[in-house]
Structure 1
Amino acid sequence: MLGIYADLPWSYAAGAGIALAAAHQLRGARRATADPSAAPAAEPVPGRAPRVKGATGGRHFALAMAYSVLVFVPTSLFITATHPEWATLQHTGHLSHGALTALAAGEAALTAAGFLITRGLLVAGRIRWAACQVILANLLMCLAVVHGPDGDGWKRFLSTDRADYRSFPPFLDVGGLGAIAGHVADFLTSGLAAALYVTGALALGTLGLIMGVLHQFGLTDAGADGPGPLRAALVAGFVGGGAAIVAVLTSALVDGLGWVVLAAVVPVLWVAVIARGAFAAVVAADLALPAEQDA
């Protein structure tokens, strides 16, 4: 729906996000299948814990796959089939039925992988790492849009086809901003943009509804004092906005210094996002997800 390069990490993020939203239910399922005599006395009794057997069982996995197969994959294929040059960042003007089938299968497989990996981390008590599945997948998606395969990702994203990309105004000085703004305005009012608005509202709106309902049910089941739907949506928006900002900064550094700059960016991301007490831990706390259990 955002083009092939961005749709693949979106698929993974969607599966991971649905699992993360159901964190309390999935942790409850682990407790429900554990030996009662081995559970701590203070452990809260799970509410509507799903009856799952094995990694692929449970209604939450089925819900994640239903979202992928019924909502995301069709919207992605519609945009890709009707605007192949834009969807491939102007690299090809035609995609065969085999290529579209492979894309659909890949997106569904990534949604399943995102859900199952995140679910496994949740069951193991690695809440911070589970949150990282969503955060880092969002970062990859933003990098695909902003940088792309050659550093011109945002220009290609804002160009409907090859001819439009070739005519993208160069930025030589401040005076060139007007021409660039005109090009962007033409894209935002194009038929492609209208299709993106509709498919984006469907794909993102459905995903937000699923995650919001699962998250609120989980808080109720666990008796946790967590954020309401609006605040949870703001946290999700903050995650997406933060990923976009990091993608822009990373793209600018790569353009200026080359790919070697990633040797410095990756450790910084580790400290800022993944490490204990970093961004992922803050997100988990803000959403009142289950407590981390590293033991």
Structure 2
Amino acid sequence: MALAKEYSSRRVCHGTLGEIEAAMLYLLVRVSKPRRVLEVGALCGYSTRWLLSALARNDYGRLESYDLQNVVDGIISEHRDRWTFTRADVTNLDLGDFDLIFIDALHMNAFAKMYTRRILAPVARATPVVIHDIYNPLMMPLYAPCRRLNASDTAALYDLHMDCFRRLAANWTRAHPGNDFLYGPEQTSGEGQELLAWLARTSRTASPIINFQPYNAPLFALGLRDLYLRLGILNPDCPYNQPAAFFLLRGAGDQSASSDIQYFDPSSINVADAKHAAAKRKKRGRLGSSKAQF
């Protein structure tokens, strides 16, 4: 909790991994205990801090980050011994094997074509993968009018956005029968279409594809967000749409569905129970302790 509060202030920069996805990524590292972690797209180091903190808590593993910009100065010094940063185009490098892969870079289908072929395809063994910003309809020109909508709370704003998306999509479909506006190599809505198409063509998923956002699972996502707000570890102004895909990538040539990797299953989280436990801790005066950590 202390870690989440420290990082949720967004002192690093905007446009980074959302707090909910960051915490789930942190838990994934804590549970899977990877020896070697790949980060593609460090931006200003926000996700880098979460990854390094999880590795430090594990007392095991190293992080290798790649970006076209220099992010070295934004990383807390006590974790640098577990971290290697390379300023380079990762798709032009021979990286070898990793135990966990996190990609948050250029959110276009054209880039997804590159990293699925050059980074994901060569993976030899079952590996947890997290891809951030796989889909954001508010980035699409068709849905630009929906950006102006506002509401008093996240759930109401989600409903307004969904109604707006459906109305505009229906209007477009009636005006352009037989055409598809959702996919294109330079589409700015995220790289999810190309990523999911590649996974479907290759059958490389060894787990469900998990997403923690309202577009996929509104009850879970909004309930978890409400819990974070109650615990005081989420910025109320943080946008709710920070979609990431969490999945287990099957190794190349591996046709079995089984894996020895312990993979985090969000269905094991009972939001109601978590809220009840948080309320009990708060009543006992424990909530907010500087010693509280994940």
Normalising by the smaller structure, the TM-score range is under 0.3
TM-score by length of 1: 0.28
Q: Which has the higher helix share?
A: 1
Highest RCO, 1 vs 2 (Cα 8 Å, sep ≥ 6): 1
Name which one, 1 or 2, has greater alpha-carbon Rg.
1
Larger % of strand: which? 2
TM-score by length of 2: 0.28
